[in-house]
Amino acid sequence: MSSTETGADAEAGAQPDRRREDWADKMADALGEGCLEHHIIPGSDLWVRVTRDSWTGAATAARDRLGCAFFDWLSAIDWLPSPYGRDMDAQEDNPEPRAAGATEQGYAGGETRFQMVMRLYSVTDHLGITIKADLPDGDLSIDTLIPIFAGANWHEREAWEMFGIRFNGHPDLRNIYLPGEFEGNPLRKDFPLLARRVKPWPGIVDVELFPGEEDS
């Protein structure tokens, strides 16, 4: 298990976030090998990355050991840089599709393109925890959280249709927003936003003047 501390921590240095560190330790304690990395921004937030197999274990541990009874949300992140650029403003964007370059993951690291994110919260301690798990590219599936947090049902259905992630043990994995016969997973980075593909966005970067500021 490795741990990364940010530069922000070094600046705030004198005041390390004891409560969040304590939480991170508890998670590491509960999951052992399953807990890969954690990241703390003092006074702000805590990220913990776990293995795919410890996903449900992490949720149970957070609920039972940290008192996170509140299921905040669950989603996924596609770390692939968009092959289309932003299709937005000619000053900034590449007109031709970018080569899928090196993907770069966020806090608490990551190894694969798809990463699950869930956020749990303790209504007694008023602290939240963001738990991440990598999904191997060949097998986009993970265990369902429904037995632990019943509210995960709809969030998992949303992640299923938006990213194509399969949740093992989910009783009713149907599209929640999109029509049943919809093809593709809209929130994947390689899913083109067709409106932008067929017609360029007219609004280049528009910058509003601040109050009292003269236009130069």
Partner 1 sequence: MTASGTDQRQQLAYVAAQAADARLNVEIETEGMTLNIGPQHPATHGTLRLVARLDGEQVVEAEPIMGYMHRGYEKLAEVRTYPQITTLINRIDWLGSFANEVPFILAAEKLMEVEAPPRAQWIRTALFELSRIANITLFLGDMAVQLGAVTPVFMAFRDREFVLNQIEAATGGRFHPNFDRIGGLKDDLPRGWIEDTKQAMEKMRNFCDEFEELVLGNEIFQARCRGIGIVPPEVGLAYGLSGANVRASGVDWDLRRDGQEALAYDQIDWRVWTHPDGDSFARYWVRLQETREATHMVDQLLDGLPPGPIMAKVPRIIKVPGGEAYAATENPLGEMGYYIVSKGDLVPFRVKIRSASFSNMSITPWLLKGVYVPDIITILASLYFILGDIDR
Smallest distance, Å, CB 6 to partner 1? 9
Residues 1-60 that bind partner 1 (CB under 8 A): 8, 43-45, 47
Which residues pair with residue 11 across a beta bridge? none
For residue 196, state whether it binds partner 1 (rule: CB under 8 A).
yes
For residue 64, state whether it binds partner 1 (rule: CB under 8 A).
yes
Look up residue 95 and give its two tokens: 């007109």
For residue 154, state whether it binds partner 1 (rule: CB under 8 A).
yes
Candidates 5, 19, 67, 83; binder of partner 1 (CB under 8 A) is 67
For residue 130, state whether it binds partner 1 (rule: CB under 8 A).
yes
Cβ-based nearer residue to partner 1, 51 or 82: 82
Q: How many residues does the chain have?
A: 216
Which residues pair with residue 23 across a beta bridge? none
Region of 60 (left: φ > 0; alpha: ψ -120 to 50; beta: rest) is: alpha
Summarize the chain as % helix, strand, coil (round to 5). Answer: 25, 25, 50
Going by the DSSP 8-state scheme, the letter that residue 26 receives in this structure is: H
Contact 24, 47 (CB under 8 A): no
CA distance 49 to 105: 12
For residue 206, state whether it binds partner 1 (rule: CB under 8 A).
yes
Look up residue 38 and give its two tokens: 């954690």
Cβ-based nearer residue to partner 1, 33 or 117: 117
The contact set with partner 1 (CB under 8 A) reads: 8, 43-45, 47, 63-64, 67, 69-73, 75, 77-78, 82, 86-89, 92, 104, 106-107, 117, 119, 123, 126, 128, 130, 147, 149-151, 153-155, 162, 175-179, 186-187, 191, 193, 196, 201, 203, 205-208, 210-211
